Amino acid sequence: MASNKTSVLRSLALVLALLLIVSMAESRTFAGGLETSLPTCDSVYGAQEGDTCSDVTEKFNLSTDVFLAINPNINCDAIFVGQWLCVVGSA
């Protein structure tokens, strides 16, 4: 009886794993089929000592959402002097 329960549980685990794999594969297919636009940058600013994301957004009159969209890989906790930040662009 115990081996029958173990067999059922193992089969259930395999089915769930298969469903998870198929689900992940389908989501990649759907995402891959969508056309996404990359951000474009028309003007940059070299960060100065003490600059923060908030300082730059205020200085160039940008919303935080727009700033982050045109600087997709920015780490606002680690801006360094001379880092090029996009201040005019589209996402």
Could you read off the pLDDT of 29-88 as tens digits, one per residue? 555 555 567 899 999 999 999 999 999 999 999 999 999 999 999 999 999 999 999 999
C-alpha distances out from residue 24 to 13, 29, 38, 48, 56, Å: 17, 9, 24, 43, 38
The DSSP bridge partners found for residue 84 are 46
Higher pLDDT, 49 or 28: 49
Ranking 3-7, 17-21, 32-36, 52-56 by mean pLDDT, the lowest is: 32-36
> What is the Cα–Cα distance from 2 to 91, expressed in whole angstroms?
58
Give 15-22's long-range contacts (Cβ < 8 A, gap of 24+): none
CB 87 within 8 A of CB 44: yes
Give the pLDDT confidence score for residue 42 in this predicted structure. Answer: 94
Task: Give the model's pLDDT for residue 51.
Answer: 95
Q: Report pTM.
A: 0.59
DSSP code for 79: -
